[in-house]
Amino acid sequence: MAKFINEVSRTFSEYLLIPGFTSKDCVPNKVDLRTPLVKFKKGEEPSLHLNIPFVSVIMQSVSDDNMAIALAKNGGVSFIYGSQSIESQAAMVQRVKNHKSGFVTSRANLTPDSTLADAIALKEKTGFSTFGITNDGTSNGKLLGILTGRDYRPSRDPKDAPVKNYMTPFEKLIYANEGVTLGEANDIIWENKLNCLPVVDKNQNLLYFVFRKDYESHKENPLELSDSNKRLIVGAGINTRDYKERVPALVEAGVDVVCMDSSDGYSIWQKETLDWIRAKYGDKVKVGAGNVVDRDGFNYLAEAGADFIKIGVGGGSICITREQKGIGRGQATAVIEVAAARDEYFKKTGVYIPICSDGGLVQDYHMVLALAMGADFLMMGRYFARFDESPTRKLLIGGNYVKEYWGEGSNRARNWQRYDMGGEAALKFEEGVDSYVPYAGSLKSNLDLTLGKMKSTMCSCGVTNLKELKEEGKITLVSATSIVEGGAHDVIVKQAQK
């Protein structure tokens, strides 16, 4: 007979935070969300930290180089998905490390012989309205012109007409040469009343665009997360199969931290991967491990040498592992137990290993609950998949804009390495779904709102940093009736006027 855990497995929605004393100093602009990313010894500082407790999930539909750049500018870290070729993933990492703030690599390009139909399709797919027209249609080809949404009328102009009939040709463009500073580029934009400025090399190859609309956002990024050389911090996902080839390529590309992407972290495969990385690189390469849901799983990976440990099995919005395999645990219960194990390990060894809650977050207040329960930072997928910066298509369905979002265990991703149980290399059944999420706009505007809510909640708890939240926060279990009471009830809610 199996061992029974009689404690109910609970989710974040079953808890609320109890208000604490709010002093005059406890105001949102004084709340500090800085948190450790990797392990450190008592009395020392971690070699890597986060300015906000957010990282983006290791998924094809969420974390590419564009998301990594946007999130690092706002204080978090993306783990670029590993279910792609080693060369492609390393190139993404390198693009993040080579990124120059304010200089945007063009992600929407056409050739002069592309048609307006191609331009319209590309706009629908990417959401971009400014296209670099290059000789080969790549982001670094020879720049021959620029096409914007103001240059053609989709309703009247022939769809089969080539874009060269509508683009502004290179000889009529105002551009900047390689080596221009951001300040100089912005001066050119303002002096010439431009919306965008292309930057080219000595051979007229397109390097970057600098946009007028980005001027304010690039003036100041107080939470930007960068290394000692002022390069953005970036992470990458790895698996337990090709790590001997993938990790060296990622290190060569400049990756700051890697994380094993697995639905089951309590395995010999993760220990073998950690052993190999430690033997080759020592402690220079920072490695996250997981996922686990209990004390035993945490202690196993802690002893194996993990730099941080992820919590969660089956709680993601696109994950169906619990349905398919009957494996998992309520995310709140998992976080509480693993956090207790983390604290016990710290008390015993003097080594603090950060823990990351991965999945199960539906409402913004759940984020504060997870942190109060002991998580050091949060890994999210659905949250980030909704934004312009995610790599998926924006579609109009049923009168509403949505973005595609699929799980790594879905047939679309075919990321069998994430669900590797050893033996034959094949994904026998799905553990994720293919779906849509409501389109929400830019990362920064949504992130600012979420962080504002979190800081307000923390002030209501009477705390101004995450350490205080863990030590002084008070949490209560709520009944089903209390959950109903917490929303609008016993009234007729007015419908918004259109």
In this structure, the chain runs to a length of 498
Is 319 one of the annotated active-site residues of the chain? yes
Active site residue: 26, 196, 259, 319, which one? 319
Among 256, 258, 249, 226, smallest CA distance to 100 is for: 226
Active site residue: 342, 382, 418, 459, which one? 418
Is 459 one of the annotated active-site residues of the chain? no
Could you give the residue numbers annotated as active site? 319, 418
